Amino acid sequence: MPLRDALARTVPVAAGPVSVAWLSDDRRIGVRSQIELLGELDRERTAGLRRARLKQFVLGRVLLRRLVEELFPDATGWTVQPGACPRCGERHAGVELVGVPARASVAYAEGLVVAAVAPSETVSRLGIDVERDAHDQERAEELRRLIGASRENVLRRWTRVEAVLKADGRGLLIDPGAVWLRRGGGWIAGGAQSYLVCEIDGPQGYLISLAWSAAAEASAQPPARRLAGPAGDRWLA
């Protein structure tokens, strides 16, 4: 499956390009033949996945492989593997690229799989998130409880928060309300690491956000004082 068959977008960032691509999960694909191309740990993970989740998982790995092949056409012998869980140490969290100097992230929503890859010489941390842009009052209320109320679309803000948490590497081990968002950037309360955050113009009906840190970037300090409201509201620089 050539990458040109996917909708793809390269995002020019200050630290260098982050390549982002997505695929609808209704795309026909030989799942079993693709499983044979996965690394050992990924193959083990597929054993317990139900059919729909299995297809999304495999599509995510397909996208990652194609993005790496575009960025590093001469690379050989590299693999994709699940990242180490910050809670238990087992490899079932996030995604890592082994044998190629790149960072990666993958996200799933109903009907869509999204992946991002960037050279590690320019990007030290990377996270991407996607949500289906559909009205769901129960879901919206749940997210407001997690990240607070705002005039901004709560699903949009949630994708930005999640992208930062995924770039950080600890995910929901961190309180989502501790993520601070401000004018294209983000921080986690109490930490010195800063993130650039942007929205990706993806397929209609989906909200996609990307967060990354430049490898050579000096750690920026969080805003001096939070004025009011939940994460992402008003700030005093």
pLDDT tens figures, 150-193: 888 999 999 999 999 999 998 888 999 999 998 889 999 988 89
pLDDT tens track for 82-99: 888 887 877 777 899 999
Q: What percent of the chain has pLDDT over 70?
A: 84
Mean of the pLDDT values across residues 142-155? 91
Q: Which alpha helices (H) appear in 72-153, and where do they start and end? A: 137-147
Where helices occur in the chain by DSSP H, the ranges are 31-35, 40-46, 51-71, 137-147, 154-168
Cβ count near 91 (within 10 Å): 16
Q: What are phi and psi of 235, to 5 degrees?
A: -135, 155
Nearest to 194 by CA among 169, 170, 166, 218: 218
CA distance 235 to 144: 19
Answer with the residue of higher pLDDT: 227 or 138: 138
Sign of CA dihedral 50, 21, 34, 32: positive
118 Cα distance to chain centroid: 12
Contact 56, 161 (CB under 8 A): no
Neighbours of 137 (CB within 10 A): 7
Each domain of the chain, given as residue ranges in start order, spans 3-216
Give the pLDDT mean for 226-234. Answer: 32
Element containing residue 20 per DSSP (H, E): strand 18-24
Pair of tokens at residue 48: 């317990």
pLDDT digits (tens, 9 = 90+) for 97-116: 999 999 999 999 999 999 99
Q: How far is CA 10 from the centre of its chain?
A: 15
Q: What is the DSSP letter of 52?
A: H
Nearest to 167 by CA among 132, 141, 129, 223: 129
Q: What is the pTM of this model?
A: 0.83
CA distance 101 to 118: 9
pLDDT digits (tens, 9 = 90+) for 3-28: 444 445 556 554 456 999 888 877 67
Q: What is the CATH number of domain 3-216?
A: 3.90.470.20
